[in-house]
């Protein structure tokens, strides 16, 4: 499903890494391969290195007893069964816990444990959540580019940002009725509010909310399904980020002009709504083939679709609004 192009050296026989085999991608064969570097995950071709990635691609976290064997898979399944249908943030069909970024996997496990409704599991979820919070804070330089001057050529650490967003969502869920704002909505702690602001600022600095920039990450040489999946992954992350920002009651609280980089309004959502939700929900190649209708992958990079950007509706209304998005098949 995901395709990576590299230059093969004729003097060596190269084999695909585990991630590229899993996702039916062409692997360049050099350890680590480009796709593993892009996603910030361990490449199976590099057996001597525990975790190899560019500085902004991921977070290193200590091992957790919750992230092993059968309990781990059970909690991951609970996440996808109970939580993911409401957010559709992660593409389940290409997700593999053995090769995904460990931080993202742990953030998913936290929510899966919480969704189990079991007291012991929920207690463990809070403990793991706190461990992840420490890792996020200690390794801020690895992902936070909100205040950096020069970000030319910086990668988009999507898995890390997905994990941080899930971490913030859990903080909101865990707050519940115990931490209400004056508007009677759950509110974030100052630490998590700053974390959300940094995440928003980083995404804006990287131009992740701008559709032409999203398209520019891909080439006409890439496979059509790979391009579509990557575009949808970014759009769905951006939309989820906006929803969380609104739910956290951040809008309007940071009016200082110096903090405008950390503010997020519908005006910033310069991309179309996600499409073909049925295709996004597929879990097997058979389902993928059935859901991928004619024309789905045509002209993906040829049209910026500016007239369909979410920001255009904002411009027409002239106000920010609670975005109600109903997924369309």
Instruction: Give pLDDT tens digits for 275-326.
Output: 999 999 998 888 988 888 888 898 899 999 999 999 987 666 655 555 554 4
The CA distance from 257 to 200, in Å, is: 15
258-271 in b/e burial notation, b at 16+ Cβ within 10 A?
eeebbbbbbbbbbb
Peptide bond into 231 cis (omega under 30): no
Give the confidence band of 37 by pLDDT, cuts at 50, 70, 90. Answer: low
pLDDT tens digits for 175-200? 764 555 555 566 678 899 999 999 99
**Token duo for residue 318:** 């002239």
- With a cut of 50, say whether residue 225 has pLDDT above it: yes
Mean pLDDT of 230-252: 86
- With a cut of 90, say whether residue 105 has pLDDT above it: yes
149 vs 104 pLDDT, higher one: 104
Please, what are the domains in the chain?
Answer: 1-53 (4.10.240), 65-317 (no CATH)
**pLDDT of the residue at 244:** 92
* pTM (two decimals): 0.79
| Other CB atoms within 10 A of residue 49 CB | 12
């Amino acid at each position: 499903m995901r395709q990576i192009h590299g230059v093969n050296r004729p003097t060596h026989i190269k084999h695909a890494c585990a991630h590229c085999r899993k996702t039916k991608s062409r692997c360049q064969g050099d350890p680590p391969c480009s796709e593993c570097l892009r996603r910030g995950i361990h490449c199976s071709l590099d057996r001597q290195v525990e975790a190899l990635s560019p500085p902004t691609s991921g977070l290193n976290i200590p091992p957790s007893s919750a992230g092993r064997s059968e309990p781990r898979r059970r909690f991951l399944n609970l996440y996808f069964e109970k939580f993911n249908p409401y957010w559709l943030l992660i593409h389940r069909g290409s997700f593999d816990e053995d090769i995904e970024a460990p931080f993202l996997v742990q953030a998913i496990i936290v929510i899966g444990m919480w969704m189990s409704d079991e007291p012991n599991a929920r207690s463990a979820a809070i403990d793991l959540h706190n461990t992840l919070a420490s890792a996020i804070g200690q390794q801020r330089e690895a992902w936070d580019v909100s205040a950096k001057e020069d970000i030319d050529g910086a990668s988009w650490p999507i898995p890390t940002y997905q994990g941080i967003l899930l971490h913030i969502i859990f903080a909101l869920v865990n707050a519940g009725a115990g931490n209400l704002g004056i508007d009677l909505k759950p509110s974030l702690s100052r630490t998590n509010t700053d974390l959300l602001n940094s995440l928003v600022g980083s995404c804006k600095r990287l131009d992740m909310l701008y559709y032409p920039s999203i398209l520019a990450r891909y080439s006409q040489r890439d496979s059509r399904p790979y391009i579509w999946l990557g575009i949808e992954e970014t759009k769905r992350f951006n939309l989820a980020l906006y929803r969380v920002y609104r739910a956290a009651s951040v809008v309007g609280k940071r009016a200082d002009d110096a903090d405008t980089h950390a503010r997020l309004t519908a005006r910033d959502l310069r991309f179309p709504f996600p499409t073909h939700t049925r295709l996004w929900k597929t879990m097997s190649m058979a389902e993928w083939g059935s859901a991928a209708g004619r024309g789905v992958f045509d002209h993906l990079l040829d049209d910026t679709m500016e007239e369909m950007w979410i920001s255009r509706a904002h411009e027409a209304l002239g106000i920010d609004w609670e975005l109600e998005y109903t997924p369309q098949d």
